[in-house]
Structure 1
Amino acid sequence: MITPVTLRAQAETEAARLPPLLARAEHLAGAVLLGDHGRRRAGMGDDFWQYRPAQVGDSRRMIDHRRSAMGDIQFVREREWQIAQSVMLWVDQGAAMRFASAPDLPTKADRARVLGLALAILLIRGGERVGLTGTALPPRRGNAQVLRLAEMFSEDAQDDYAPPEHRAMIPHARAAFVSDFMGDIEPVKLALTKAADRGVRGVLYHVLDPAEEAFPFRGRTIFESVGGTLEHETLKASELKDRYLSRLAARKDELQQLCSVAGWQYGIHHTGSSAQSGLLWLWRALDGGMGRT
Structure 2
Amino acid sequence: MTAANGLRHRAEAEAGRLPPLLARADHLAGTVLLGDHGRRRAGMGDDFWQYRPVQPGDSRRSIDHRRSARGDQQFVREREWQIAQSVMLWVDRGASMRFASDDSLPSKADRARLLGLATAVLLVRGGERVGLTGTSLPPRRGRNQILRLAEMFSEDAEGDYAPPEHRAMIPHARALFISDFLGPMEEVEVALTKAADRGVRGVLLQVMDPSEEEFPFRGRTIFESVGGTVHHETLKAGELRQRYLDRLAARRDWLQRLSRATGWQMGLHLTNHSAQSALLWLWTALNRGA
Q: Distance in 2 between matches of 1:43 and 1:135?
A: 31
What SS does structure 1 have at the residue aligned with 2:31? helix
Percent of aligned pairs sharing the same letter: 76
What is the match of residue 205 of structure 2?
205
Q: Distance in 1 between matches of 2:268 and 2:43?
A: 31
1:1-293 aligned at under 5 Å gives the runs: 17-33=17-33, 38-41=38-41, 85-290=85-290
What SS does structure 2 have at the residue aligned with 1:156? coil
Q: Is the CA contact (8 Å cut-off) linking 1:175 and 1:200 kept in structure 2?
A: yes
The letter of the residue matching 1:91 is V
Higher share of residues assigned helix:
1
Structure 2 length normalisation: TM-score? 0.80
Q: Is the CA contact (8 Å cut-off) linking 2:96 and 2:226 kept in structure 1?
A: yes
> Which segments of 5 or more consecutive residues in structure 2 lack a partner in the other structure?
1-13, 47-80
The letter of the residue matching 1:161 is Y
Q: Distance in 2 between matches of 1:263 and 1:81?
A: 25
The letter of the residue matching 1:133 is T
The letter of the residue matching 1:158 is E
State the 1:288 CA deviation.
1.1
Q: Distance in 2 between matches of 1:106 and 1:279?
A: 16
Q: Distance in 1 between matches of 2:181 and 2:285?
A: 19
Structure 1 segments of 4+ aligned residues over 3 angstroms from their partners: 14-17, 34-37, 41-46
For residues 243 and 41 of structure 1, do their structure 2 counterparts lie closer, same or farther at Cα, with a shift above 3 Å needed?
same
CA RMSD of aligned residues (A): 2.0
Q: Is the CA contact (8 Å cut-off) linking 1:24 and 1:114 kept in structure 2?
A: yes
> Which segments of 5 or more consecutive residues in structure 1 lack a partner in the other structure?
1-13, 47-79
Q: How many residues align?
A: 243
For residues 87 and 244 of structure 1, do their structure 2 counterparts lie closer, same or farther at Cα, with a shift above 3 Å needed?
same
Q: Distance in 1 between matches of 2:104 and 2:41?
A: 39
For residues 37 and 43 of structure 1, do their structure 2 counterparts lie closer, same or farther at Cα, with a shift above 3 Å needed?
closer
Q: Is the CA contact (8 Å cut-off) linking 1:41 and 1:85 kept in structure 2?
A: no
Residues 148-185 of structure 1: CA deviation (Å, up to 9, x unaligned): 00000000001000000000000000000000000000
State the 1:215 CA deviation.
0.1
Q: Distance in 2 between matches of 1:189 and 1:279?
A: 25
Q: Is the CA contact (8 Å cut-off) linking 2:205 and 2:267 kept in structure 1?
A: yes
Q: Is the CA contact (8 Å cut-off) linking 2:89 and 2:133 kept in structure 1?
A: yes
**Max radius of gyration: which structure?**
2
Residues 263-287 of structure 1: CA deviation (Å, up to 9, x unaligned): 0011000001010001000011011
Q: Distance in 1 between matches of 2:156 and 2:168?
A: 22
Structure 1 length normalisation: TM-score? 0.79
What SS does structure 1 have at the residue aligned with 2:284? helix
Q: Distance in 1 between matches of 2:228 and 2:39?
A: 44
Q: Is the CA contact (8 Å cut-off) linking 2:113 and 2:153 kept in structure 1?
A: yes
